[in-house]
A and B are shown apart, each in its own frame.
Chain A
């Protein structure tokens, strides 16, 4: 039996979402067509949009459907920067936290390289939580030059929930818009777009039991946003491309389920997580939990480093034992790269090499935790014997 504890990478599609997808796929019709089939498809899209908006505390007109989280993040950074600079050429600074997903970090770096922007990485503390003083200092020193602030709602590797209310207050005091990547937060912590005060927010379907291939940028009404994809003018001209009615339908079902079941999900996965972490600390020497205390992190996330081990050894041995987890960091062609999140948290060299992220989801059970606790001590012992052989002589 396979134990799947990598739900933060992607989580199984909910049966209700799969059903909605299959049901909508059975009907032809381009939502932009004017005939009956087109109107039916459009109705599917707009009903989905309304349900998404209602579940996330937004207005339907604020939901810009995209191909997923990466596209929504790119639209937020590129679209906001270009619109802001068109309005005021001085506003070329992008303030992003150092622990953002690459879907935020890389567009920021690209804009710095190709469009004369300046990407400013805001530091985090040892738990991966944004250093608000650094944000305040940056705003005080260069407030007139800031195009936008982008800080994720919760970190995908170590689960740190970021102090968004303070970020929004500080940025808005200077008239600066704030974007948050909330891909990992939806369904785990309360996410209400209007209440958050955010100007833009990224969500995606496949992290909450919907299909891969659809997400959205929630963009406040009146927020100036230059399009990245030009074409047929769908999504109020901000995001062209034929609207994916079946994906939207499944997306809405999944988000509704995730938001509606959030409290129960958080309680259940939080308990599994706590039992896993306590069990690991009790049975595995040299294990160190990373990220904030439970109250300030995602309930379904656990992150542990194992001294003297390499992530790829741990991953291989667990995989061979039927336990699927992640090192948490990004891969390039299968090679885990050193985690920029752990490095930003001040972990150096070998400390950052033996990292594992366990992420729970709607299919996780007590037996999953039992199985991990059964195999992990032996796995770590063996990985430690293999040591950092690839690194040191």
Chain B
């Protein structure tokens, strides 16, 4: 096959391209320039947008002996991923930009362009497995290494695009094994740190980025009774389930920690309250994407709502091409699910499909106080991995 390998300048995509070459494919490397104003050097744990990253990608291609190009997709990235990111936060939701990048850039713009230029597939360094079925269709599965699994952010691509994707790292046992393979292959970026933060947010300061792009919009922080307990600079900077950074002047009457329960963009209010009010009972998703037919009502499966959160058992109440409703098992312990996040359904390791969370209903039961510590450690802000 003629394969376009997306090279971020990181170790995963370089080893993936090397494996595609080993498999006998005709491989060309492309680095996507996604930022309009690229910094000279990479800083911290952010993405792949600096000129230094493009240089690292070039050197990986040199080492592999494949042609290399840089394609400027920055306008498209700004118009889709960044615009969606801003609009979603402005609407009081919490988007996952890596999901949108896979949906709009990697497996849309890049893939479409590659196919039009005569390539058969796009290869990336994502950790996920593609399993071919006897009937010729393909399934998306979790990676062999659960710690690196990225099937969550890939579920948005759907069946047709999966047929044009290569994920050569799906069966790698660990990131350490990828690094060891990079060393063995003489790839100089073998020891490059992983990227975690949102690639287009300078300094990893999402709140600062939102304030700069959306402007300051001061408003009130209230509790469930409507009493004002604090003030904010812009409701968009908060995420359902968030505990840190609320800067509330007075502690709650009962002394328990408070969390963001809801964002009210029209009233420009942030509602806070105790952890037990975050417990979720039903998830409603929109714009579903399915690998095959939507699951029948009554199907028992697992749902994951964060890139690195655990999946919890659910029952499908309704699933079609418009809408998804799942009920959580009693005691599933899913709290603080923000609208805008993806909910991905799994049958074992197999991805059934995904939808974007539009609403949740909150469980009426009270969570024992001793469960609160677990919630505190769970930051609802999306942990993002390219």
Answer yes or no: B159 CB below 8 A from chain A CBs: no
Contact flag A332-B51 (CB < 8 Å), given A312-B69, A312-B71, A390-B71: yes
Q: In the bound complex, do residue A390 and residue B75 qualify as a contact, i.e. CB atoms below 8 Å apart?
A: yes
A:328-346 near B, CB below 8 Å: 332-336
Q: Per a CB cutoff under 8 Å, which of B31, B54, B75, B117 touches A382?
A: B117
Q: In the bound complex, do residue B79 and residue A334 qualify as a contact, i.e. CB atoms below 8 Å apart?
A: no
B-facing mask of A162-195, CB < 8 A → 1, else 0?
0000000000000000000000000000000000
> Which residues of the other chain, A, contact B70 by a CB distance below 8 angstroms?
333-335
Q: In the bound complex, do residue A333 and residue B67 qualify as a contact, i.e. CB atoms below 8 Å apart?
A: no
A389 to B109, CA, bound (A): 6
Answer yes or no: B113 CB below 8 A from chain A CBs: yes
Scoring B58, B69, B79 by chain A CB atoms within 10 A of each residue's CB, the highest score goes to: B69
A320 to B30, CA, bound (A): 14
- Could you tell me the distance in whole angstroms from the C-beta of B104 to the nearest C-beta in chain A? 9
> Which residues of the other chain, B, contact A319 by a CB distance below 8 angstroms?
67
Q: Per a CB cutoff under 8 Å, which of B58, B68, B75, B116 touches A386?
A: B116
A337 to B76, CA, bound (A): 15
A334 to B117, CA, bound (A): 19
Contact flag A385-B116 (CB < 8 Å), given A332-B51, A391-B75: yes
Answer yes or no: A279 CB below 8 A from chain B CBs: no
Q: In the bound complex, do residue B72 and residue A335 qualify as a contact, i.e. CB atoms below 8 Å apart?
A: yes
Answer yes or no: A36 CB below 8 A from chain B CBs: no
Q: In the bound complex, do residue B113 and residue A335 qualify as a contact, i.e. CB atoms below 8 Å apart?
A: no
- Could you tell me the distance in whole angstroms from the C-beta of B59 to the nearest C-beta in chain A? 12
Q: In the bound complex, do residue B51 and residue A336 qualify as a contact, i.e. CB atoms below 8 Å apart?
A: no
Answer yes or no: A383 CB below 8 A from chain B CBs: yes
Answer yes or no: A387 CB below 8 A from chain B CBs: yes
Answer yes or no: B33 CB below 8 A from chain A CBs: yes
Q: In the bound complex, do residue B117 and residue A383 qualify as a contact, i.e. CB atoms below 8 Å apart?
A: yes
- Could you tell me the distance in whole angstroms from the C-beta of B93 to the nearest C-beta in chain A? 22
A382 to B117, CA, bound (A): 6
Answer yes or no: B374 CB below 8 A from chain A CBs: no
Interface size on B, residues (CB 8 A): 25
Answer yes or no: B350 CB below 8 A from chain A CBs: no
Can you name the residue of chain B whose Cβ is closest to the Cβ of A334? Answer: B70
Can you name the residue of chain A whose Cβ is closest to the Cβ of B2? Answer: A320
- Could you tell me the distance in whole angstroms from the C-beta of B317 to the nearest C-beta in chain A? 34
> Which residues of the other chain, B, contact A332 by a CB distance below 8 angstroms?
38, 51
A387 to B71, CA, bound (A): 14
A389 to B31, CA, bound (A): 16
A212 to B301, CA, bound (A): 65
A320 to B4, CA, bound (A): 13
Can you name the residue of chain A whose Cβ is closest to the Cβ of B68? Answer: A334
A61 to B54, CA, bound (A): 45
Answer yes or no: A240 CB below 8 A from chain B CBs: no
Can you name the residue of chain A whose Cβ is closest to the Cβ of B50? Answer: A333
Q: In the bound complex, do residue B54 and residue A334 qualify as a contact, i.e. CB atoms below 8 Å apart?
A: yes
- Could you tell me the distance in whole angstroms from the C-beta of A311 to the nearest C-beta in chain B? 10
Scoring A316, A332, A393 by chain B CB atoms within 10 A of each residue's CB, the highest score goes to: A316
A389 to B72, CA, bound (A): 11
Answer yes or no: A288 CB below 8 A from chain B CBs: no
Q: In the bound complex, do residue B113 and residue A390 qualify as a contact, i.e. CB atoms below 8 Å apart?
A: yes
- Could you tell me the distance in whole angstroms from the C-beta of B34 to the nearest C-beta in chain A? 11
Answer yes or no: A313 CB below 8 A from chain B CBs: yes
- Could you tell me the distance in whole angstroms from the C-beta of A103 to the nearest C-beta in chain B? 20
A313 to B67, CA, bound (A): 14
Q: Per a CB cutoff under 8 Å, which of A313, A334, A393 touches B113?
A: A313
Can you name the residue of chain A whose Cβ is closest to the Cβ of B30? Answer: A316
Q: In the bound complex, do residue B117 and residue A386 qualify as a contact, i.e. CB atoms below 8 Å apart?
A: yes
Q: In the bound complex, do residue B58 and residue A334 qualify as a contact, i.e. CB atoms below 8 Å apart?
A: yes
Q: In the bound complex, do residue A316 and residue B112 qualify as a contact, i.e. CB atoms below 8 Å apart?
A: no
Answer yes or no: B55 CB below 8 A from chain A CBs: yes
> Which residues of the other chain, A, contact B28 by a CB distance below 8 angstroms?
316, 320
B-facing mask of A104-141, CB < 8 A → 1, else 0?
00000000000000000000000000000000000000
Q: In the bound complex, do residue B117 and residue A333 qualify as a contact, i.e. CB atoms below 8 Å apart?
A: no
> Which residues of the other chain, B, contact A317 by a CB distance below 8 angstroms?
117-118
A-facing mask of B280-294, CB < 8 A → 1, else 0?
000000000000000
- Could you tell me the distance in whole angstroms from the C-beta of B24 to the nearest C-beta in chain A? 18
Q: In the bound complex, do residue A390 and residue B117 qualify as a contact, i.e. CB atoms below 8 Å apart?
A: no
Scoring B58, B71, B73, B79 by chain A CB atoms within 10 A of each residue's CB, the highest score goes to: B71
> Which residues of the other chain, B, contact A390 by a CB distance below 8 angstroms?
71-73, 75-76, 109, 113
A:364-393 near B, CB below 8 Å: 382-383, 385-387, 389-391, 393
Can you name the residue of chain B whose Cβ is closest to the Cβ of A383? Answer: B117
Q: In the bound complex, do residue A333 and residue B51 qualify as a contact, i.e. CB atoms below 8 Å apart?
A: yes
> Which residues of the other chain, B, contact A334 by a CB distance below 8 angstroms?
31, 54, 58, 68-70
B:63-95 near A, CB below 8 Å: 67-73, 75-76, 79-80
A336 to B73, CA, bound (A): 12
A382 to B70, CA, bound (A): 19
Can you name the residue of chain B whose Cβ is closest to the Cβ of A313? Answer: B117
- Could you tell me the distance in whole angstroms from the C-beta of B42 to the nearest C-beta in chain A? 13
- Could you tell me the distance in whole angstroms from the C-beta of A320 to the nearest C-beta in chain B? 7
Q: Per a CB cutoff under 8 Å, which of A316, A333, A393 touches B38?
A: A333
Can you name the residue of chain A whose Cβ is closest to the Cβ of B54? Answer: A333
> Which residues of the other chain, A, contact B113 by a CB distance below 8 angstroms?
313, 386, 389-390
B-facing mask of A296-328, CB < 8 A → 1, else 0?
000000000000000011011101100000000
- Could you tell me the distance in whole angstroms from the C-beta of A6 to the nearest C-beta in chain B? 15
Q: In the bound complex, do residue A316 and residue B54 qualify as a contact, i.e. CB atoms below 8 Å apart?
A: no
- Could you tell me the distance in whole angstroms from the C-beta of B8 to the nearest C-beta in chain A? 14
A317 to B67, CA, bound (A): 12
Can you name the residue of chain B whose Cβ is closest to the Cβ of A336? Answer: B72
- Could you tell me the distance in whole angstroms from the C-beta of B38 to the nearest C-beta in chain A? 7
Q: In the bound complex, do residue B69 and residue A320 qualify as a contact, i.e. CB atoms below 8 Å apart?
A: no
Q: In the bound complex, do residue B55 and residue A389 qualify as a contact, i.e. CB atoms below 8 Å apart?
A: no
Can you name the residue of chain B whose Cβ is closest to the Cβ of A384? Answer: B116
A-facing mask of B104-132, CB < 8 A → 1, else 0?
00000100110011100000000000000
18 pairs from A and B in contact (CB 8 Å cutoff): A312-B69, A312-B71, A313-B117, A332-B38, A332-B51, A334-B70, A383-B117, A385-B116, A386-B112, A386-B117, A387-B116, A389-B112, A390-B76, A390-B113, A391-B75, A393-B76, A393-B79, A393-B80
Known: A389-B116, A390-B71. 7 other contacts (CB 8 A): A332-B38, A333-B70, A334-B69, A382-B117, A382-B118, A383-B117, A390-B113
User: Chain A residues in contact with chain B, CB under 8 A?
Assistant: 312-313, 315-317, 319-320, 332-336, 382-383, 385-387, 389-391, 393
5 A-B pairs closest in CB distance: A386-B116, A334-B70, A333-B51, A335-B72, A333-B54
